[in-house]
Chain A
Amino acid sequence: MLTKRIIPCLDVKDGQVVKGVKFKNHKVVGSILDLAKKYSDEGADELVFYDISASTNNTMVSKKWIEEIAKNINIPFCVAGGINSIESARLILNSGADKISVNTPAIENPILINELAKAFGSQCVTVGIDSMQESDQYIVYSKTGNVNTSFNTKILTKDWIIKVQELGAGEIVLNCMNQDGVKRGFDIKQLNYMSDVINVPLIASGGAGKEIDFFNVLNNPKISGALAASVFHNSEIQIEDLKNFLKQNNIHIR
């Protein structure tokens, strides 16, 4: 039986790992390779490196640190940020990343998802979605790496989720922006609402604060994994302890 995945996310800015609250006020939390090795050794199932400077500054993520990660860690990792073409995706995959994740460039050019899936296979192609609740609707936001560029696309999150799957997305990371960085638990309501229309692995993101939050979200059979950043970076939750807690509560965990 497939296990649920615990995925630390490392937001990378100018070559260092950073974390902000609600996508603002980024603080440096450590070096990329040190944190990657630490999480891998502690039992993380996968890592996501999200270059938050890439999409908003219109620059490509640097190939060198991806190679360093690939040489040193033995679990899968995904690179996100500024990937807007087959060529840029190929560069990252050839550097040793297992998956690429697209967000803003996919909104600007949805057919990119299809081109990437055809070129590299759906299993390499994750689509990241930043979703914000506004009154009674969930809306996709774009260019969320910087508060000055972040904007409402007016696309309903559910419509976008359906579309990216039709185009060949192999996995969806749904970042629930209202919950991001505030540690009050994952947005179970939104995730459940979206999970009806999702046939690819769904990774929950935004809001992890306590071990019980992971239980509450991973208890849904439609959710394949949970992604978090600050609770791991601040050592508020140790991955080994978290996995033991989930195992004791009958969540299927490696």
Chain B
Amino acid sequence: MKIGIVDCGGANLNSIYYSLKNRLGIDVVISSSKNELEKTDGLILPGVGSAGVVMNYLNDKKLDNFIFNTNKMTLGICIGMHILFDSSEENDTQCLGIISGQIKKFISTDFSIPQMGWNHIEGLDDYKDLSNYYYFANSFYSDNTTRAFGYSEYINKFTSIVQKDNYIGCQFHPEKSSLAGENFLKYFISQI
């Protein structure tokens, strides 16, 4: 089995790469080439950059349609989850439209923004056993309820895990979430 990390133009693709390759022993490639990614069994949209920059990069590389049409199990992390939605308030960006709804900006005078640190996720259904603390670093969030499989609370209740068909999105960074994060990645891999 081989997993393709989609190079979305951001820095720090190595965090997720090392997590899969060095700590979970998975064969993995980082690429922005459709041909290269086509040869993999599952895709990861890594959680770096901003929605506008990532979407522009994917459009330039003609990867937007590829991701939209793929039947491979695909995990979007943080920004990678945001771009699965219709749109994001971040840079007022049109996203892939795989999951309906808009990504919103946290607004608060009492809480610091971005949310940065470890927060609890209450997982539902298949994700119930994955309820745990995970690492978050985000200023934007989803309030989707129809595709939600995990909820957390910061400023307001927000959706921390979504799934639609072969697409899973997580607002947190599993590659940085200690053993809980590794178990989450193992769950994703088990679905491939």
Known: A94-B13, A97-B12, A123-B139. A201 touches B112 (CB 8 A): yes
Q: Which residues of B contact A67 (CB under 8 A)?
A: 14
> B176 near A94 (CB under 8 angstroms)?
no
Given A4, A93, A119, A200, which contacts B113 in the complex, CB threshold below 8 Å? A200
Q: Which residues of A contact B13 (CB under 8 A)?
A: 94
Asked if B94 CB lies within 8 Å of chain A CBs, one says no
Given B12, B49, B139, B177, which contacts A74 in the complex, CB threshold below 8 Å? B177
> A2 near B173 (CB under 8 angstroms)?
no
Q: Which residues of A contact B181 (CB under 8 A)?
A: 74
CA distance A202 to B10 in the complex (A): 26
Given A46, A96, A122, which contacts B139 in the complex, CB threshold below 8 Å? A122
Q: Which residues of B contact A2 (CB under 8 A)?
A: 115, 117-119, 136, 154
**B interface majority secondary structure:** mixed
CA distance A98 to B182 in the complex (A): 17
**Which of B16-24, B59-67, B80-88 contacts its partner?**
B16-24
When each residue 61-77 of chain A gets 1 if its CB lies under 8 Å from chain B and 0 otherwise, what string results? 00000010011101110
Known: A74-B181, A123-B137. A224 touches B117 (CB 8 A): yes
Asked if A232 CB lies within 8 Å of chain B CBs, one says no
- When A and B form their complex, what is the total count of cross-chain residue pairs whose Cβ atoms lie within 8 Å? 105
> B135 near A76 (CB under 8 angstroms)?
yes
Interface size on A, residues (CB 8 A): 40
Asked if B2 CB lies within 8 Å of chain A CBs, one says no
Asked if A40 CB lies within 8 Å of chain B CBs, one says yes
> A94 near B12 (CB under 8 angstroms)?
yes
Asked if A13 CB lies within 8 Å of chain B CBs, one says no
> A3 near B112 (CB under 8 angstroms)?
no
Asked if A225 CB lies within 8 Å of chain B CBs, one says yes
> B176 near A95 (CB under 8 angstroms)?
no
Asked if A5 CB lies within 8 Å of chain B CBs, one says yes
Residue of B nearest to A122 (CB): B114
Q: Which residues of A contact B192 (CB under 8 A)?
A: none
Given B112, B116, B118, which contacts A254 in the complex, CB threshold below 8 Å? B118
Residue of A nearest to B12 (CB): A93
> A123 near B112 (CB under 8 angstroms)?
no
When each residue 56-92 of chain A gets 1 if its CB lies under 8 Å from chain B and 0 otherwise, what string results? 0000000000010011101110000000000001100
CA distance A98 to B181 in the complex (A): 15
Asked if A180 CB lies within 8 Å of chain B CBs, one says no
> A121 near B50 (CB under 8 angstroms)?
yes
Known: A76-B173, A98-B176, A121-B50. A199 touches B112 (CB 8 A): yes
Residue of A nearest to B138 (CB): A123
Q: Which residues of A contact B57 (CB under 8 A)?
A: none
> B176 near A75 (CB under 8 angstroms)?
yes
Q: How far is the CB of A87 from chain B (nearest CB, A)?
A: 11
Q: Which residues of B contact A167 (CB under 8 A)?
A: none
Residue of A nearest to B119 (CB): A2
Q: Which residues of A contact B137 (CB under 8 A)?
A: 76, 98, 123
Given A1, A76, A121, which contacts B176 in the complex, CB threshold below 8 Å? A76
Q: How far is the CB of A162 from chain B (nearest CB, A)?
A: 15
> B113 near A98 (CB under 8 angstroms)?
no
Known: A2-B119, A224-B116. A96 touches B14 (CB 8 A): yes
Asked if A242 CB lies within 8 Å of chain B CBs, one says no
Q: Which residues of B contact A119 (CB under 8 A)?
A: 11
5 shortest interchain CB distances as A-B pairs: A93-B11, A123-B137, A93-B12, A96-B14, A254-B118
A-B contact list, 12 entries, CB within 8 Å: A2-B117, A45-B117, A70-B18, A71-B23, A74-B176, A98-B137, A98-B176, A120-B11, A122-B114, A123-B116, A124-B11, A222-B112
Given contacts A45-B117, A201-B116, 6 further A-B contacts (CB under 8 A): A1-B120, A2-B119, A96-B15, A121-B50, A123-B137, A200-B113
